[in-house]
Structure 1
Amino acid sequence: MDGLSERQYAARVGLSRGAIQKAKDAGRLVLHADGSIDAEASDKRRAETTDPSKSRAAPKAPAAPKAKLKPVPEAAVSAVSDTLREQGMPAPAPSGGMTYLQAKTANETMKAQERRIRLQKLKGELVDKARAETLIFRLAREERDAWVTWPARVAALMASELAAALGEGITVEAAVMQKVLEAHVRAQLDSLADIRSGLG
């Protein structure tokens, strides 16, 4: 075989085998004596005899879709910078962007921190902040309520002990003692109310 088969020539010029057979039947291809296609001569004849307005352009390769890169939010960049600084590593400038290695390092550091926190929670070393604040508030309220009712419980006993200690003829009224104690207890509770827990 001196030339190309229909299938080989079709692959070479980017047409279907049926289109090559039509061109062969129409006499637009140059054939060798054995019936194979003379590629060079056939290309030349096809170019001369084909109407350019009716020819199909060579199929274009589909354009690869352009990957749309989403801009990284400033909050994410600053979080990465903070994480790198906490670990004693150089952080990128706020407007200078960051390298892939810096972002990867910060990501791995944050993963390690999350795992450490999860492990500490499982071991019972960490408690939920809201739960701790609720518990502290409840305990403080119970303590305050106990102190508010304390003067009424002990005023009569303290009045009699004080009268006995001061000697005969001196009496201390329980109601007066209760009022004095309540005033001092409330003043103390008011001063303690200004103390805030260190959980904030």
Structure 2
Amino acid sequence: MADGVSARQLAKILGVTEGAVRKALKANRIKRLPDGLIDREAAREAWQGSTDPVRTKVRTEPQTVRTRGTHPRVEVRTPAEAREAVSLIARVLAEEGVEDADGSIDFSKARTAELILKARQRSLDQAEQQGRLIERAAAEKLFFDTARELRDAWLAWPARIGIELAAELGIEARVLTQALTNHVNRHLSELGEPMGDFR
């Protein structure tokens, strides 16, 4: 059974005005259930699919109702924190190619840096929702496991190919296999082990 909510409750869930919800209902962008209520998840998906994310403050994650003043206020308490904040702003602006990024930091530059960081976070959130991001630990483990498999395959290769290759060349298989093993071991030693401890 769908979890039905009223237009007013949905507006609070989405973080928009009740008028915006009523307008969406009238335009059939979101639909009512047979009992007159609205399925909150279906409405959230419909809203996301038909609303420009730049022009709305709709929540994209199921959360509790937004209340005023819930954002923690960041305060700079020491000169070191102030220097760190200014350094971060300058670095963000420089990375985006903003002119005079290393000059004095005013409110306009701080606001620009904040918008850049929000845009980056939004991009990361969207990539995560679309499944284009994976956890770093999982990626590192996959890399390490793949490197180990390749190393093990190379270590087994001389014994697997040695007899066949010795027959083609007309030389003793044991000598050729040992020579191939020595060269493979030396090469793998030069490459080194994958970095990190992923156990």
1:99 lines up with 2:106 in the alignment: yes
Q: CA deviation at 1:124?
A: 3.1
Q: Structure 1 residues 92 and 173, CA, compared in 2 at 3 Å: closer, same or farther?
A: closer
Q: Structure 1 residues 183 and 69, CA, compared in 2 at 3 Å: closer, same or farther?
A: closer
Q: CA deviation at 1:195?
A: 9.0
Amino acid at match of 2:88: A
Match of 2:166 in 1: 159
Q: CA deviation at 1:128?
A: 3.4
Q: Distance in 1 between matches of 2:115 and 2:139?
A: 30
Q: CA deviation at 1:142?
A: 0.5
Q: CA deviation at 1:194?
A: 8.1
Cα RMSD after superposing both structures = 2.7
Unaligned 5+ runs, structure 1:
1-67, 164-171
Q: Distance in 1 between matches of 2:77 and 2:186?
A: 60
1:85-117, Cα deviation, whole Å (9 max, x unpaired): 222323353xx5x32222222112211111111
Match of 1:188 in 2: 187
Q: Distance in 2 between matches of 1:69 and 1:159?
A: 73
Q: CA deviation at 1:175?
A: 1.4
Residue pair 2:166, 2:176 contacting (<8 A) in 1 also: yes
- 5 Å matches for 1:50-199? 70-71=77-78, 72-89=81-98, 90-91=100-101, 93=103, 96=104, 98-163=105-170, 172-193=171-192
Unaligned 5+ runs, structure 2:
1-74
**Count of residue pairs brought into register by the alignment:** 118
Question: Is the radius of gyration larger for structure 1 or structure 2?
Answer: 1
Q: Distance in 1 between matches of 2:84 and 2:185?
A: 48
Structure 1 residue runs of 4 or more that deviate by more than 4 Å after TM superposition: none
Q: Structure 1 residues 182 and 92, CA, compared in 2 at 3 Å: closer, same or farther?
A: closer
TM-score (norm 2): 0.50
Amino acid at match of 1:77: V
Greater relative contact order (Cα 8 A, min sep 6): structure 1 or 2?
Answer: 2
1:8-63, Cα deviation, whole Å (9 max, x unpaired): xxxxxxxxxxxxxxxxxxxxxxxxxxxxxxxxxxxxxxxxxxxxxxxxxxxxxxxx
Q: CA deviation at 1:134?
A: 2.1
Q: Distance in 1 between matches of 2:76 and 2:164?
A: 80
Amino acid at match of 2:91: D
Q: Distance in 2 between matches of 1:144 and 1:77?
A: 47
